[in-house]
Structure 1
């Protein structure tokens, strides 16, 4: 097989945030495209590709074998962070799943993360919940990117281990956790396009909730606050 691999823009951006010579785990690796791409680009990189289901696990093993990278990429079958030992890898990638599931995987495997230098998360939804987990668990959000691909918006969050002392870590507000503190400063075209879309969607949801037979007043207040924040961001552009 030719030594090349086509990767989606979102996964290329994830790969960009891995340092040279990365020793990382890719949880929910699917076909192991990301580990293979990184190891083809960087001959010092090593990876563990974790999968919970037999089908993707076998696909990942086949991909790694086809690219002759079995000596540098270990494909393992298991749930979440069960596939790694504490201190075995320095970077962790969890991409392409819901924010609630990423939160759950990190929480369930928290004892494996003490020496984890960097976590790169790409939640498909609920990026705010992932940011909250990272901040609560003393990770410093050092970079973020927002990719638009095939009609979807993907937020990539890069967080480095802040150690046991949380006093020097930034205290992000709920507003900053919603938008992403770094994305707020970048305000890319994709960022503005995403929040224009979210504004329309949230306006419609609030209207529907207000006409519901049983109104969830707490949620309405929360969504109206978020709508005000979105309008503020869009107005300032």
Structure 2
């Protein structure tokens, strides 16, 4: 992977960047996505944010090597701390856990007032991200799912709007499975949730006998409910 040929995961993310955006890529690593977005005419300017020194230096080198330092600024900082309020119109956060993405957004709420679109790619726990969006005035306007190197990734696209609109009367299922992904039910979607169901069934079989303690019982009931949800939607 490089700035000219992204991974399939990041290429799928890039599709959802609105043309002429001021892009902020948080946790940018090598800054491949901002470089690609500029070179493909997707973004007018970009900010690559990175909290760790090694990836920060890699991003700086990449931007300098591609001679894009006049339109891409690499900044070191934690999450949305690298941004000024109203500076970016599109924010991408990719390759982290859903809980961490939600924490980054929550800590940086004041930086989101002028942002037109969030493109979020959690590696796990996309439901936590959907719930944060719902609770904070962001409406899911699309979702994507992609399989790469044996792993399955979900991509969430959100804009400020009516958070409950995409869910209809299926809020519980929508938060877990994704309202757009649930409606489409692609082969990759089915593969993901069949795998999750099998994983939960294995855990359930390995749990201590019923009545062990309250914590175990609560976990057992949660797994039973999750397995039931998957069976119903598939």
Report what 2:119 is aligned to. Answer: 120
Segment of structure 1 superposing worse, 169-178 or 145-154: 169-178
The 8 Å contact of residues 140 and 170 in structure 1, kept in 2 or not, is answered as no
Report what 1:83 is aligned to. Answer: 82
1:216 is paired with a residue whose SS is helix
Report what 1:23 is aligned to. Answer: 22
Report what 2:180 is aligned to. Answer: 182
Please report the RMSD computed on the Cα atoms of aligned residues, expressed in angstroms.
Answer: 1.9
Deviation at 1:115, TM superposition (A): 1.8
Report what 1:157 is aligned to. Answer: 156
**Against the structure 1 CA distance between its residues 167 and 37, is the aligned structure 2 distance closer, same or farther, given a 3 Å change threshold?**
closer
| Correspondence list, 1:28-39, <5 A | 28-39=27-38
* Paired residue total: 230
C-alpha separation in 1, matches of 2:9 and 2:228: 29
Deviations 1:130-172 (A, max 9, x none): 000001001110100111000101000001112xx76867565
C-alpha separation in 1, matches of 2:126 and 2:166: 19
Unpaired segments ≥5 residues, structure 1:
none
**Against the structure 1 CA distance between its residues 226 and 26, is the aligned structure 2 distance closer, same or farther, given a 3 Å change threshold?**
same
C-alpha separation in 2, matches of 1:59 and 1:35: 13
| Correspondence list, 1:170-209, <5 A | 170=167, 173-209=171-207
Report what 1:221 is aligned to. Answer: 221
Unpaired segments ≥5 residues, structure 2:
none
Deviation at 1:211, TM superposition (A): 3.7
Deviations 1:157-208 (A, max 9, x none): 001112xx76867565121110000000111111011111111001111222
Q: TM-score, normalising length from structure 1?
A: 0.91
C-alpha separation in 1, matches of 2:127 and 2:63: 33
Report what 2:9 is aligned to. Answer: 10
The 8 Å contact of residues 138 and 169 in structure 1, kept in 2 or not, is answered as no
The 8 Å contact of residues 139 and 163 in structure 2, kept in 1 or not, is answered as no
2:103 is paired with a residue whose SS is helix
Deviation at 1:220, TM superposition (A): 1.8
C-alpha separation in 2, matches of 1:209 and 1:100: 26
**Against the structure 1 CA distance between its residues 204 and 169, is the aligned structure 2 distance closer, same or farther, given a 3 Å change threshold?**
closer
Deviation at 1:61, TM superposition (A): 0.6
1:45 is paired with a residue whose SS is strand
Q: TM-score, normalising length from structure 2?
A: 0.92
C-alpha separation in 1, matches of 2:62 and 2:78: 20
C-alpha separation in 2, matches of 1:167 and 1:228: 24
The 8 Å contact of residues 21 and 44 in structure 2, kept in 1 or not, is answered as yes
